[in-house]
Structure formats: C-alpha cells, structure tokens
C-alpha cells in the first residue's frame, strides 16, 4: 500500500507514493502529502488516484477550461470592415457599408455571432418584407431583401473562415427571384438620335458604351494606350479596345470580370481615330478636358435623352444595346459573353429575349413557310371518309 506514514522533522506525515506509467510508456511517480487526516482516508485517496491513472493515464485532475464566450456580431463586423471590405471595388464597398449601417448592425449588433443564425436571418427578412411604404413583391422590394441577405451571407462566411463560427448557419432565407431589368433600346434610330443631340465629349463616351459595350466605370478609366487601331488593315475589323481597368469614386480597380478585348468598327472606330493625347490620357473627357466624375455620364445621358425626347432609359441602356447588337449580328453567344465581360453565360442569354424585332420576323417567316408547305385539307366529305 502506498499510503503510509513518514516522519518528517520529528512529525508523522501521511504521504501517497504511487509509481505509474504515462500513456507513452515512460515511467513516472506520484509522490505527494495526503490531504487526509487518517490512514483509512489516505488509502481511499490513493484508490481514487489509481483509478484516475487507469482512466486518463495521469494522476492529476484536468483543470476545467471555461469555454470562451462567443464574440459579438459587432466585433465580427468590425474585423470584416477592416479586413475584407478593402478588397472590394469602391462602389461595391459603399453598397456593403450601407447595408451594414442601415440594416445588419441595428438588427444584430448587440447579439453574439452564434445568435445570428437561420431564425434571426428569417426574422429580419420577414421584417423587410413588411417594410411600410414598399409594395411587397415588387422588384425594388425583392432586390432590397436580396442585397441585405447577400451581405449577411458574406459576413457569416468571413466569420466561419476566421474562427468566429464553426460553420455558416444552414437554412438561411432563400434569395428572392426578381425580374430581369435589362433596359430595352428597341431600335437603331433611338441610339442614333441620342448620339445626334449629344455634345462631342458626350458622344465619344456614349459611342464606347453603345458599340463596345463598356460599363461607365470602364469608360472613365479607358486610356489611349488601350486603344489599338491598324491603319494598314482597312475595314470594320481594323481595331480593338482593351478593357484593363475601371474607375469608381476616384479609385482604379480591375474590371468586374477581368480584362478583355473588344473589336471595334463603324462610327466608334472613326471617333477613336481622332483621339489625341499621351498614352496615359483618358480617351473620353468632359468638355473641360477633365476625366468624367462618378455621376457625370449618368447625368449627361439623361440630359441627352431629354433633348431627344426619349424616356425610360439609363446610361446602361447603351451597353445593353451593344450586347443585343452583337447578338443580332450573329456573334456566337459565348463570344458575346467574353466581349461583354459576363461571368456567367446565363447573364448573356438574358439579352436574347430583347431581340423582339428579330423574333417577330422569324415568326412571320415560319408562318409563311408553313402556309406554302402544308397540304390543302380536303373539302369533299366522301373523299375525307375514304
């Protein structure tokens, strides 16, 4: 028995002396003063320690580790703002910041990250669906709800990746299926009229969108060095535009879906042949010779539409027109996808429904063909019976 008395400095002391082997097989010894006052109690303590060694491989009790308290959602958002948001282009970053400030922080800021799960997200979505002044089921209502849920998903993925959460909560609200809002410039005459009433500086910017499909931020960033014209190769395919950058709120960034080259011709080619300045000079400048500001092209387009007496379009209508123009010209849809800078082919395919004139013409041709090819039905009852 290893519980025994020893004499120490003239006093009898109960000790425990237990040899044992660690889980890795090495020899060890547990030698301590007993906490008991009697030999019987010391032997019971010895038995408990031996049992502990048999179960855990150690005579020592494991210290209870107090579980770490879940962090606040506001702490997660703080790290998200400083770490992830700076990687986004400025316009996207501003949109995410707005959602965080107006919706997510007021609703979830005082909760822990573990409390922001599927139920909390669904409660917020239901609240948004009942927002006063916003008609339920409208595209605006659906897009607002989608934008908020998209940012929430982004924050939760960031939290899962950086140890705030074990995993992204499941069963989050499904994104609302909205209506495809692709502005429809229905004919070439409308574009020609807008270009006709535009000033020279506006016309160059509008041509880049209407015939090269550039986004406004790409127009603002396009420099002379990114335009290639081959004078030795006359014809409609004698040049191209290289989209390498975009500019949003004064910051340069990579294009939304990467760099791309777009062949140019017609009125755009003639316009760009007149471009002057150093390679680093922007192709499209204002009448004052300065680069376009963030909202300048939007406002200029609305003024041009007013002079042309055309309503219902935005500056993006010119880009949509370019994409439908390429499709009408018979360019394969996967090539149009690359030229437009679409990440998914399904995005490009949405433009096919805008080719209404072409579909109407196809319907007429098919109807005429069937009318001439189909046999004339018999009118004689006896012949029909036979």
Domain ranges of the chain: 3-56, 87-161, 188-359
Rounded Cα distance between 318 and 216, Å, is 10
Rounded Cα distance between 62 and 375, Å, is 93
Rounded Cα distance between 294 and 247, Å, is 8
Across the range 238-260, mean pLDDT stands at 88
CA angle, 95 then 157 then 129, to 5°: 55
Rounded Cα distance between 204 and 198, Å, is 9
Give the sign of the dihedral formed by CA 359, CA 363, CA 368, CA 374.
Answer: positive
* Eight-state DSSP code of residue 114: G
Rounded Cα distance between 351 and 308, Å, is 25
Query: Rounded to two decimals, what is the model's pTM?
Result: 0.62
Q: Would you say residue 386 has pLDDT above 50? A: no
pLDDT band at 89 (very low <50, low <70, confident <90, very high): confident
Q: Which long-range contacts (CB under 8 A, 24 or more apart) does 94-102 make?
A: 94/249, 95/147, 96/151, 96/154, 99/147, 99/148, 99/151, 100/151, 100/155
CATH number of the domain at 188-359, please?
A: 1.10.443.10
Which one has a higher pLDDT value, 222 or 370?
Answer: 222
Residue at token pair 């031996």: 50
Average pLDDT, the chain: 84
Rounded Cα distance between 192 and 187, Å, is 9
Rounded Cα distance between 232 and 192, Å, is 29
Q: Which pLDDT value is given to residue 141?
A: 67
Q: How many CB atoms lie within 10 A of CB 364?
A: 10
Rounded Cα distance between 100 and 150, Å, is 11
Residue at token pair 């509008």: 206
Q: Which of the residue ranges 190-194, 253-257, 367-371 would you say has the lowest mean pLDDT? A: 367-371
Contact between 315 and 321 under an 8 Å Cβ cutoff? The reply is no
Across the range 158-177, mean pLDDT stands at 84
> What is the tens place of the pLDDT at every residue in 13-68?
888 888 988 888 888 888 888 888 888 888 899 999 898 888 888 888 776 555 66
Q: Which pLDDT value is given to residue 373?
A: 65
Across the range 288-297, mean pLDDT stands at 92
Q: Which stretch, 24-33, 209-218, 264-273, 340-349, has highest mean pLDDT?
A: 209-218
Rounded Cα distance between 216 and 249, Å, is 12
What burial class does residue 267 get, using C-beta atoms within 10 Å of its C-beta: 0-12 exposed, 13-18 middle, 19+ buried? middle
Q: Which of the residue ranges 186-190, 263-267, 290-294, 354-358 would you say has the lowest mean pLDDT? A: 354-358
Across the range 292-315, mean pLDDT stands at 91
């Amino acid at each position: 028995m290893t519980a025994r008395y020893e004499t120490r400095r003239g006093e009898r002391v109960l000790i425990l002396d237990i040899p044992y082997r660690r889980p890795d097989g090495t020899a060890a010894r547990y030698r301590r003063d007993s906490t008991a006052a009697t030999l019987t109690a010391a032997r019971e303590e010895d038995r408990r320690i031996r049992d502990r060694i048999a179960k855990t491989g150690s005579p020592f009790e494991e210290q209870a580790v107090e579980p770490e308290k879940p962090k606040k959602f506001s702490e997660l958002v703080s790290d998200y703002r400083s770490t992830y948001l700076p990687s986004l282009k400025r316009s996207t970053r501003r949109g995410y910041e707005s959602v965080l400030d107006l919706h997510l922080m007021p609703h979830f800021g005082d909760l822990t990250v573990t409390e922001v799960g599927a139920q909390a997200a669904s409660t917020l979505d239901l609240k948004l669906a009942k927002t006063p002044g916003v008609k339920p089921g409208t595209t605006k209502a659906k897009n607002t709800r989608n934008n908020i849920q998209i940012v929430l998903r982004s924050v939760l993925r960031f939290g899962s990746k950086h140890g705030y959460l074990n995993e992204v909560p499941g069963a989050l609200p499904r994104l609302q299926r909205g209506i495809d809002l692709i502005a429809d410039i229905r004919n070439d005459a409308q574009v020609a009229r807008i270009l006709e009433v535009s000033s020279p500086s506006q016309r160059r910017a509008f041509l880049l969108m209407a015939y090269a499909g550039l986004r406004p931020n790409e127009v603002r960033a396009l420099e002379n060095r990114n335009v290639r014209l081959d004078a030795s190769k006359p014809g409609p395919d004698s040049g191209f535009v290289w989209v390498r950058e975009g500019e949003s709120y004064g910051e340069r960034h990579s294009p939304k879906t990467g760099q791309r080259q777009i062949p140019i011709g017609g009125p755009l080619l003639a316009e760009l042949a007149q471009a002057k300045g150093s390679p680093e000079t922007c192709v499209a400048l204002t009448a004052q010779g300065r680069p376009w500001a963030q909202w300048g092209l939007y406002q200029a387009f609305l003024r041009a539409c007013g002079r042309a007496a055309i309503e219902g379009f935005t500056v993006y209508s010119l880009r949509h027109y370019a994409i439908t123009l390429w499709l009408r010209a018979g360019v394969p849809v996967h090539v149009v996808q690359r030229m437009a800078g679409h990440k998914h082919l399904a995005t490009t395919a949405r433009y096919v429904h805008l080719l209404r004139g072409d579909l109407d013409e196809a319907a007429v041709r098919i109807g005429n063909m069937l009318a001439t090819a189909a046999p004339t039905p018999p009118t004689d009852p006896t012949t029909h019976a036979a």
